[in-house]
Structure formats: structure tokens, C-alpha cells
Structure 1
């Protein structure tokens, strides 16, 4: 359960970017379902390149299966976009030649939702990502891109937040082969794990991205932000530009001074200008992150 800003909701572990033998993955769709079910996941989106899967024909093994596709319209500087479309009809055919914005608009019109996939790996700047509208989030962590050192997208995310684009973030595997399995996932807070409830939660930002740490309580009222989470050795509150809150980091008293676990955070947030945002970033003793989605901090007149 997660107490998410006053709503206590069940949580569901989701993989929202995976590939099968239908495109460039090495596992057949049924095998991908089995792998994620046995690993304790609740939600699985199959998002092959330019193709949908017939998820309704698969044995779900108790998972909520979501029909998806990774789309690749032309992008700036000759770089193709990587856009994960979720909840598209199984009959959806890749709209070859359509511009990126038109693809996003089409998916949204059909009841789906789009995520900006691994922008750092692609080589996009935050300014380029912000030319597109209608995303429900971006990937803050992508397992498959860690092998060339471009798995994290925190800086680009923060640049977008500084510019006023309040996107949530997901963590994903982008699974193609065994080495990509189970290193990043998205925890969805929803009344149940039905496709409709999951998609509503994603559109509302009712989720968090993680590599392992868990949030149990997130609250913001009367200018005070509070959080409770699994024990972590690094707890950082991030906000606009050079602002932030360092609660705990390893070796805080100098090299070799050690690391302690922390499981709670409280701070009074005071916005000096419109557009102020805040997000919490925690990291456990294994070096694994979790990220809360950004909240808007209102300006309080003195």
C-alpha cells in the first residue's frame, strides 16, 4: 500500500517497455509473460518496435497485459524518436511517415498514452524533447541503455521541470535479452490492476519509478512535504536550479566516515517564484535509486 498525498492505494509492479521476438527481442511473447510473472510483476506492456502484440490471445498468468508499441518517427538532427505507446488497440498499425507530434496525437485520440523513451541514449536535448506535447512521462532509468553508460535521464528531466514541463518519470527495463531483466520498474498506485485503472493512474501521475527502494508515504500540505520509505543511505530533495535539500549522503563527515540508513524525510517548502517544483530522490546501500514524481510548490505571499 502507498499513502499517496492522502489516498491510500494498493500498489502494482509494472514493466512498461519490453520487446519480444516480434521485433528485436530474443524471448517469445509467452516467455516474456512467464519471466515477469515469476519475478513478481503485476503489469506487463509488450512494446515491440513498430508492431503490436495480440496480448488478448496470450495466457496472462495473472498479469495485466497492455498492448503497446515503440514508435520511431523522424526527429531533429536526423535522430529518430523512440516513443513508447501504451494501451493502443491490438489492431493498431504503425503510421509510417507520420510526424512525431501527429503520432502522439493519434495514440492519445485512440485512448493510449505515450512515454518519451531513453532520451539521453538517443542524444536528444531537453529543448528538443520539449518540442513534443502530450507525453504522460519520460524514462528516468532504462536498463538496456546502461551498457553504454546512458541509463539515467535525471538531468534532462530536471531541465524540463525548470522550464515548467511537469512530466512524471518511469523506470523500465527496455528488455531485449536476459541482461536487461528486472533492474528498473514502475510502481503504480491504483484501486486495482485492471487496464483501465492502470492507465488512469499513469495519466494522473499516480506512480513512482524505482530500481528497488520503496516509497510508503508521500504527503504535501500547508507547505510541508513528508515522506516515508525503505531504508536508504542517500536522501536528496531536488528543486529548481541550484536549490535542494540534502538529508543524508554516505561519508557526509568525510571519506570513510560511513553511511547510515534513513527512512523518512520532512521539509518545509517555500516557493519564491511561480513554477517551483520538488521531487524526492532516494538511493539504497546497493546504489539503487527511487524517484518520486514532481509536485508543484505554490508561492506563499508573506
Structure 2
């Protein structure tokens, strides 16, 4: 009679003390140990700690790709100590777009499923359907291969390996080669709310730049005194030469930020990001060709052919 009640007692204890029998989704991602539901040889199913540790790793925290090409996001799992027989695991890749990486306070709830695989069975989702696969070059290799990279594929990808009641994960950032450029209305500066800025960048076959992309452009020499919208809803501008009217002469060079702004009411310019395409120059329509823009795009000598027949130079390595 006691044997019949044992499974109920085990389940009751597990529900009351989730930390003692596995990982509840409310208690973070990593505790470093693996648990297994297995028969102990006498026919009684028990949950017990067997001392095996599941590790999920990536040799790269970020990768840089080219629009239209393929890219591999590295991910590999292993056990400590090493197992003598293979185990049945489930792998899940998810994605947090670059536009929400900085803005989201609860990253896990904003993640979108990319691919789920178990054994030889797999399923991809949404815009990734038919474009992704697992590399599987060696045992434990769960690296994600993305074909035909698109402009909106940038962001943070999570590789999660699930074994029984335990799971571990690692993240990899995907960035694209390209150029950041300021865009403002022909009527003058500060005419776009956040949504209008997003649209004008799309009209240029570009996206709103991220803070990281703007910072990289600043490191490459971008200096622009007018604030522009970024993908996370902040308004910022890059200054390499501090001066009056651009934050003051006493501030150090860097990004000047107004912080997160009201997306409907506040008006600024836009900082757009245009990704290169398979090593060829990207065609961009300029809002206005000013002396400042000419200096800006002259940084490394990569020509951009405009729809009006003019030419600008890229301010970012790797565009051509």
C-alpha cells in the first residue's frame, strides 16, 4: 500500500520545493546540474541526482554576417563527466530582434522561436522556415546555419539544450556588415516621430540603427550634431569633436543621449542602418547631399551609387 502512494509523495514534494527536484521556469536558467527520471532497477520510478553536469557553450559571443549570404551561429553541448552512451536531447533556438534587445526588460518573454529539433526531427518557424538548419558536424554540435541573411535577422539568438528536467543555454549576437547614416527631412531637422523615422529608413531599404551600430560608426569617425531616433526608442547623436551647440566643449567625445523618448510626440531625425549585399555596394537614396554628409561618407572611400546619379562614400568598413 505504501508503494502505491510513493509516486504521489514524490510529486507533492517536487511541487512544493521545485529547487530540490529540477528547475522551475521561475527560478532562472542555470544551476549547473542534471537530473534524470529513471528506473532504479526495482521497478520504482524515482527522480534522483546523478552528479552529471550539462554544459552548453559557444566559442563566439557575436558573429558578423553579410546580407544575402549564409552564417553559422556556434553552439555545442557536452556533459561532465563525459557519458559513455548518447542521450536523447531536445534543442531549441530562439531569437530576440535587435530592435527589442535594449528595450525589453523581460528578454525571455520577447523571444521568438526559430527552430526546434529532437533527433532527426526538426521544425523551423516564421520567416526562418526553410532558411535554417543544424550543422551537426561533430557530436554535440547544435550550431545554427542561417541561409540568405535578411536585414531584420540581426539580434540575440539563444541556443537551449533540454535533457529531461534540466536545460542550459547560451546566447550569440548576430550583426550585419553595413553603414549607419543620418537621415532628415527636406523641410529641415527634427520632423520625424519614432514611427515616421522607422518608415523613412525602410524607404531607403534600411532599418533604424541600434545603439551598438551607432557606437561602431562613431568609432569609425562619424560626427553628427543632430539627434536621431534609434531602434530602441532612444534619441542620440555621435560627437568626435566636442564643440558648442553639440553638448558643449567640456564633454568628452562619444554618444550624446536624450534617453528613451515618447514615440508619438517627440520629433527627431533618424539614424538608419543599411546592410551590404554579398560584397557589393548598397544603393541608398540620400535625403539631402550636404558638405557634412560628403565628409561623413568619405571615411574609407567606398562609393555608394544614389538613385539621383550622385555618389557618396561609406563611413563603415565592409560595405563594399
TM-score, normalized by the shorter chain, greater than 0.5: no
Query: Could you state the TM-score of these two structures normalised by the residue count of structure 2?
Result: 0.22
Query: Could you state the TM-score of these two structures normalised by the residue count of structure 1?
Result: 0.23
